[in-house]
Structure 1
Amino acid sequence: MAAYVNRTISLMSGDGPHNRSPVTAVLTERGKRIPLDNSPLQIFVKAKKKINDIFGEIEEYVKDTVDYMHEVEKDGKIVNSDQVKNTEEYVGKVHSIRDVLQRDHMKVAFFGRTSNGKSSVINAMLRDKILPSGIGHTTNCFLQVEGSPSDEPYLVLEGSEEHCAVESVGQLAHALCKEKLNESSLVKVYWPKNRCLLLRDDVVFVDSPGVDVTPNLDEWIDKHCLDADVFVLVANAESTLMVTEKNFFHKVSTKLSKPNIFILNNRWDASASEPEFLDQVRKQHQERAVDFLVKELKVCTPREAEERIFFISAKEVLQARMSEGKPISVPLTEGFQTRYFEFQDFEKKFEECISKSAVRTKFEQHSQRGKYIANELRDILEGIYSDALKLKEEKLAERKELNDKINYTEQQLMVVTQEMKKKIHSMVEDVEQRVSKALSEEIRRLSTLVDEFNLPFHPEPLVLNVYKKELHLHVETGLGSNLRARLSTALALNMESSQREMTERMEALVPQHHKMAGNVVMPRRQPFEILYRLNCDNLCADFHEDLEFRFSWGLTSLIQKYAGSGANFLALRGKRESPTNSHAPSTPTDIVDGRLIYTSATIDDWSFLSRLAIMGASSQGTMGGLVVAGFLFKTIGWRIVAVTGAIYSCLYLYERLTWTNKAKEKSFKKQYVQHASKKLRMIIDLTSANCSHQVQQELSGTFARLCQVVDDATTVMDKQLKELEVEVSSLETAGSKAKVLRNKANYIAHELELFEKAYLKLTH
């Protein structure tokens, strides 16, 4: 009998829920179906790994997006601070989701009245006696069993991180323990994953105290049940469902939408003692359980409810599984094989249900949130990309316009420069001619200007020097004043017209927005006035006046008047008549300022009177005069000579008496006018050239300042052009990266859709 039982257990173990043929598959990205491992729980494991990988990509993607937005936020043109702030919030959200996903597991909570065998069911499923079990009230707090990568089991008390020996769970959680824990407390038992396949597949078991030991059910639900994927109600098959058990699940159903509930009628091995009532009792329990799930809780259909109700003996299963490969010391009750198979069927349905439920409840919401985040960031990046593209087009148009403006300005500047050069040259020539003409006319009127000088005159050398200096100043000032009066108005009008034309032409080359922005300041046109630098003091520094008395009818004067002109005439005639142009020795023919001037003449051309005059002049003494007088007295007669002498004497006396300071001043001014006129005529060209040079400098200076203004404006435009090129490059880079990130958002959303198609749709 024992050997038969061992073979039966071995066969049942080989056909257990972890060794079934692969009947479940998932869809790949290309629509092919790939079979999973034997356990339906592997759907959850693989789904968890896949969605964790996807959210790892999402987290990296969000960080890249935040870094990108911080980078483009600096210019503040395509990204604002609100967008950056909203994007930064997704970093924390994704990080929180990843933390939840890391902790996500398939959680099953076991509830029921005291001593219904909840801990025994968990131990049977884990194939080891981990939780305390026995007669009476054995569990006084919540016990959570989950897998651990460690090879050694340990437990952690609520509110502590200290690892305790797992052997102490029997004392800590036992209701008979002296140090009782709070009934709502949670003790986590970490069991090596390599010892239990269920724990390896991220299944977490939660054992609870009896629902009949405390009225504080709401606290239990809020604290331990809201994240449970499957609830297992362990009922006592020897009785029926109690109100306390029903009340608990009524409360659960109000807080959770259609919870997954399995009902295990434990201790069904007791039915072996009453085989005649077996079917009736089973049917009775079945109907009450179905009514409870369908009509009272309304969590499933009648057909689904029939698949959620099982009749088992957890104690038998645990005993059998712990004795695999060993002889069973305790005899098994009749019908054990049927109850064992039903327990395996429960495990199969439980695994399928918890896997589907956990995938749906754990990952569907995360997948939707992941798609929401991806779509939100995609919309933000799509807007950024559109704005960057639009702004780039605007900047390109602005750059082209600015480049055309720079080229146009440079071309027009060359044209205006050539025109202004010609205009300046023409005006300079005109000014030179005008100044030359006006100065010539003023020189001809110099005597009038000199006559207007009325400073007291005295021939004393010291006084005369002062007189000459004042006269120099008077002449210089008068000539300058007269020239300004004659030329200033016309020149000022011409200059103003030329400068205005220059300014208008150059101002037209400066962009309007530059002038409005205050980047360009056009030079102000100052009144222009030509300075006539005559400097008569230096010009007439070699002037030497002759204020000695000269009788106008004296021999010297007569010789100067007649002999000089006659001698010159004779000399010219002799020059024309003599082909050899032979000259006689030089003879004095003129006297200026007491000096004799010699002129060449032929001996044959001289008359006797001329020789007498020269003789008289050369003697310059009494002897010459006596000789001449004797000659005239003998030739003409004494009466005539006497009358002539008397008249001559009267004339001499008259002129001598009238040779006053006034006459000396007049003679001085006449001499000064002759000398100054001669000197001024020598500097007409120089003065006119100087004035034209002033005009040229003024116009050239004005034009140069205007050119500088245009150059400054061009420099500003060149700088703006470079800035625009940098902005265009930056916008192109920003737009390109935004496009890449937008496409990545589409890729992530597509990955999540494939995840839903491969895993979530299988659970519906």
Structure 2
Amino acid sequence: MSGVFNMESQRGQGDGGVDQGYRSLGNGHNSRPQSPLKFFALAKKSINDIFKDLSEYILEANTFLEDNMKLEEKEGEKNKTSVKEYHNMVRGIIEVLTRDHMKVAFFGRTSNGKSTVINAMLRNKILPSGIGHTTNCFIQVEGSDTNEGYLLTEESDQPKSIMSLRELGSALSTVKLKENSLIRIMWPKEKCRLLREDVVIVDSPGVDVSPNLDVWIDKFCLDADVFVLVANAESTLMQTEKNFFHKVSDRLSKPNIFILQNRWDVSVHEDDAEEVKEQHYQRNVDFLSDELKVADRQEAKDRIFFVSAKEALISRLSEDNKTPTPSGTLQKDYHERLFSFANFERTFEVCISKSAVKTKFEQHAERGQKITASVRKIMDGTYNYSLEQMKDKQNLQCDKAHELDYLEKQLLLLTTEIKDKIKNMVEEVENKVARALNEEIRRLSIVVDDFDKSFNVDPLILKKYKEKLHVHVEKELGRNLQLRCSKVLHNGVETTEKEMIERLGALLPESDKIQLFSMVPKREFEIAYRIDCHNLCKEFQEDIQFRFSLGITALMQRFLGTKGTRSVLMGYSDSIPRPVPGAPQTPSEESYYPPAQNEMLLSLLSGFITMTSRATVAGLLVTGLVLKAAGWRVIVVTGGLYGMCYLYQRLTWTTKAKERAFKQQYVEYAGSKLKLIVDLTSSNCSHQVQQELSSTYARLCNQVDITKQRLEQEIHELNKELSQLKENSTKAKSLRNKADWIDSQLKKFVDDYLLKPSAS
């Protein structure tokens, strides 16, 4: 018998075997009808296409409202908000539709063969099975696009090997998970037709091993489309099983329940098998129709099947692997039980496909119709609003044109007057700042004397000293100028700005006058005098070397000035004739100087030749002349007094004296430099006032220009708005009609997939 079965099972299997769409009927023959599961796939594709069109339509409607409706209109703003919410709602529905699948959950007492039934349906021994309590937690089998299967657990997102299922999901394992835990088996779709058709299968522990049935229902049953109760044909339906499905029926409205009387292969050894089958039918029908009230008696009888999951699994594994069926594994009349199992699958597929379409898509279709109707209503209101607006835009042009003409003429007259006022004030500021700065230059020595930082002739320290002095002078001059000028200038600027506001405000409508005050700067106007002492005096070089006041050079500078002294010394050194050694002297020279004195002069001239300082040379010459005329005593007394004067001045040349000399030189240098920038600084300050007043007037005029432009724009846009409103009404009408079309598509979906029964 097994040989006949295997031979027949190979027919029609081809390269793809049964998984290519053929169904084993259990009698050795295969058929390839249209799968009822395709009904769900077609419905899913149809409603997905409709909602994609609906999403694009709502996005188009939202763009239309954003581009054409005025924000200040409360109704328009409300409509835009509603359409945005509808768009988010539709996007959420599309995401749910993409994830929607058909779900079947298997329940029953321990060791009734739930896992074996699932393995037979999957045509592969995936779930752990055997005698006793084997499945310890919920196991969900889903389709995957991968080539190999893997596991996912609630505790981790990391894929696990399919071989670890027996350790995690089997009740015989020491590392088993908790009863209400879930293991997801991601099995390749290409290996199973059910998974390829978006069917998700859930295996469960026995309903008699845990009291947490309510937790099970909430977590795993609320989204199930079909429930399969796997019962043991060797015993009657137990109260434990009934209690579980009573809880399911209380939570779900008329759940789809199938009952499999498994292990019916044991009936071949019983003489009263038909009477037992009838007894099972009677009790199961009573349970489904009378107790649960989920089906009428005939429908309940059609959902009861007597099968042997073990025989179905063995025969299908043998059929797919093209190997002989092991001897003794198939009992007498096994083909009837195989046919009953295949009939269960066929009936189950019809039921789950129709049920899933209804449970998964009916609510979405209703929501889609409501959304479409709401958006259509908005588009209809937009269409009527556009027509009303077209009537109101034609009465505004005359008033706006008169207002614009008056504004342009008055603004021209006022601008000429304000320009003259600004020019006069600028001249006044320039003169005032120039006078104040000149006065500050004259008292610059006081400012410099107030600088009391430590003075040191070390070059690095002296450099820092000068930098701080620059900052001090710049700060004091700026502060003094502010005290002299800023308050008066600020009052003048503020008075002028107020006058500008009053004059311009008279030209504007009441609604725009308030804006003028925001155009005037909130801060008080301050003039930046910009006296950059650091750059002005960066070339200042102090001369604080000791200079003897009675020295030849100092005396010459006192009487001849620096330039004259330089000329004399340069000319003297160049014009003195140098005697040539061995040349004869003229008689006049010898007669002029006595012999002893000639000897002394020769010594002085010899020293003159070796000295490099012209001041020293001049001193020696004068000393020689005095020596000749006055004698040695006078020279000694005079020299002593001269030396004492030198020593006194040398001893009094302290750091304080050097600082005084430095500050005096700095005052002279800085004063000369500051005088050069008086005109520049006063001009700069007057320019700041001019910029302040001009920019303020420009900002005020900007508000006038805004009003003017608004009037011009309003006049210009009136005809354009009429044209735009006409386009809006046309577009709104088109969107309203498109809503009607989408609504018709949704109604067609309801007629085709929700009202019409699925193909059986």
- Report the equivalent of 2:740: 746
Residue among 337, 340, 349 paired with 1:339: 337
How has the CA–CA distance of structure 1 residues 189 and 715 changed in structure 2, closer, same or farther, with 3 Å as cutoff?
closer
Q: How does 1:104-115 map to 2 (within 5 A)?
A: 104-115=100-111
* Equivalent pair of 1:78/1:387 in contact (CA under 8 Å): no
Matches within 5 A, 1:38-187: 38-77=34-73, 79-187=75-183
- Do 1:112 and 1:118's aligned partners in 2 also have CA atoms closer than 8 Å? yes
* CA–CA separation in structure 2 for the residues paired with 1:736 and 1:20: 57
Equivalent position amino acid for 2:746 in 1:
L
Give, in whole Å, the separation in 2 of the partners of 1:64 and 1:16. 44
Please report how far the alpha carbon of residue 177 of structure 1 lies from its aligned counterpart in structure 2 after TM superposition: 1.2
* CA–CA separation in structure 2 for the residues paired with 1:78 and 1:727: 20
Letter in 1 for 2:273: L
Equivalent pair of 2:400/2:715 in contact (CA under 8 Å): no
Task: Say yes or no: does 1:281 pair with 2:279.
Answer: no
Measure how far apart 1:159 and its partner are.
4.2
* Alpha-carbon contact 1:293-1:299 (below 8 Å) kept: yes
Q: How does 1:533-612 map to 2 (within 5 A)?
A: none
Distance 1:398 1:317, change over 3 A: same
Note if contact 2:112-2:262 (Cα within 8 Å) is conserved in structure 1: yes
Deviation at 1:161, TM superposition (A): 1.7
- Aligned CA distance change for structure 1 residues 148 and 232 (closer, same or farther; 3 Å): same
The CA deviation at 1:406 is: 7.5
Q: Distance in 2 between matches of 1:254 and 1:195?
A: 37
Deviations 1:213-252, CA, capped at 9 Å, x for gaps: 0011011001100000000000000001100100000000
Task: Tell me the CA shift for residue 133 of structure 1.
Answer: 0.6
Alpha-carbon distance, 1:67 to partner: 2.8
Once residues 346 and 6 of structure 1 are traced to their aligned partners in structure 2, the CA distance between those partners, rounded to angstroms, is: 22
Superposition map of 1:439-518 within 5 A:
none
Instruction: Say which of 319, 325, 328 aligns to 1:328.
Output: 325
Deviations 1:64-86 (A, max 9, x none): 32233233344434853322222
Q: Determine whether 1:737 maps to 2:731.
A: yes
Match of 1:2 in 2: 2
Find the aligned partners of 1:180 and 1:15 in 2 and give their Cα distance.
Answer: 34
Q: What value does the CA root-mean-square deviation take over the aligned residues? A: 3.1
Aligned-partner Cα distance in 2 for 1:350–1:115: 22
How far apart, CA to CA, are the structure 2 residues paired with 1:516 and 1:67?
35
User: 1:497-550 CA distances to partner (integer Å, 9 max, x unpaired)?
Assistant: xxxxxxxxxxxxxxxxx999899xxxxxxxxxxxxxxxxxxxxxxxxxxxxxxx
Offset of residue 165 of structure 1: 1.1
The Cα of 1:53 is off from its aligned counterpart by: 1.7
Q: Measure how far apart 1:96 and its partner are.
A: 1.7
One-letter amino acid of the counterpart of residue 308, structure 1: R
Kindly provide the amino acid, as one letter, of the partner of residue 269 in structure 2: S
By how many angstroms is 1:283 displaced?
0.3
- What CA distance in whole angstroms lies between the structure 1 residues aligned with 2:42 and 2:350? 14
Distance 1:244 1:732 in 2: 71
2:530 corresponds to: none
Report the 3-state secondary structure (helix = DSSP H, G, I; strand = E; otherwise coil) of the residue aligned with 1:763. Answer: coil
Unaligned runs of 5+ in 1: 22-35, 411-513, 520-712
Q: Which runs of 5+ in 2 are unaligned?
A: 25-31, 406-506, 513-706
The sequence identity of aligned pairs, in percent, is: 51
**Alignment check: 8 A CA contact 2:19 2:192 kept:** no
Helix, strand or coil for the counterpart of 1:180?
Answer: coil
Equivalent residue, structure 1, for 2:292: 297
Cα distance, 1:321 vs. partner? Answer: 0.2
Say if 1:729 and 1:517 are closer, same or farther in 2 by CA, change over 3 A.
farther
Q: Is the 8 A contact 2:51 2:368 kept in 1?
A: yes
The 2-side partners of 1:515 and 1:60 are apart by 47
Instruction: Indicate conservation of the 8 Å contact 2:101/2:198, yes or no.
Output: yes
Letter in 2 for 1:106: M
The aligned counterpart of 1:316 is: 311
Matches of residues 602-751 of structure 1 in structure 2 within 5 Å? 720-751=714-745
**Alpha-carbon separation, structure 2, partners of 1:3 and 1:39:** 29
Classify 1:719/1:237 alpha carbon distance in 2 versus 1 (closer, same or farther; 3 Å). Answer: closer
1:763 and 2:725 equivalent?
A: no
Q: Given that residues 71 and 77 in structure 2 are in contact (C-alpha distance below 8 angstroms), is that contact kept between their aligned partners in structure 1? A: no
Partner of 2:560: none
Q: Report the Cα distance in structure 1 between the residues aligned to 2:347 and 2:306, rounded to whole angstroms.
A: 14
CA distance in structure 2 between the aligned counterparts of 1:179 and 1:388, rounded to whole angstroms: 71
Equivalent position of 2:370 in the other structure: 372
Give 3-state SS (helix, strand or coil) of 1:120's partner.
helix
Paired letter, 2:363: Q
SS at match of 1:323: helix
SS of alignment partner, residue 132 of structure 1: coil
Matched, 1:242 2:238: yes
Corresponding residue of 1:386: 384
Please report how far the alpha carbon of residue 6 of structure 1 lies from its aligned counterpart in structure 2 after TM superposition.
1.9
Structure 2 vs 1, CA of residues 222 and 719 (structure 1 numbering), >3 Å: closer, same or farther?
A: closer
Say whether the 8 Å CA contact 2:70–2:76 is kept in structure 1: no
Distance 1:172 1:715, change over 3 A: closer
Q: Which amino acid aligns with 1:359?
A: V
Q: Report deviation, 1:106.
A: 0.5
- In structure 1, what is the Cα distance between the partners aligned to 2:193 and 2:229? 23
Q: Is the CA contact (8 Å cut-off) linking 1:20 and 1:38 kept in structure 2?
A: no
CA contact (8 A) 1:235 1:241 kept: yes
Counterpart amino acid of residue 138 in structure 1: T
TM-score relative to the length of structure 1:
0.55
Q: Aligned with 2:127: secondary structure?
A: coil
Work out whether residues 8 and 337 of structure 1, in 8 Å CA contact, stay in contact via their aligned partners in 2: no
1:660-715 C-alpha deviation (Å, 9 max, x unpaired): xxxxxxxxxxxxxxxxxxxxxxxxxxxxxxxxxxxxxxxxxxxxxxxxxxxxx999
The answer as to 2:209 corresponding to 1:213 is: yes
CA distance change for structure 1 residues 716 and 198 in 2, over 3 Å: closer, same or farther? closer
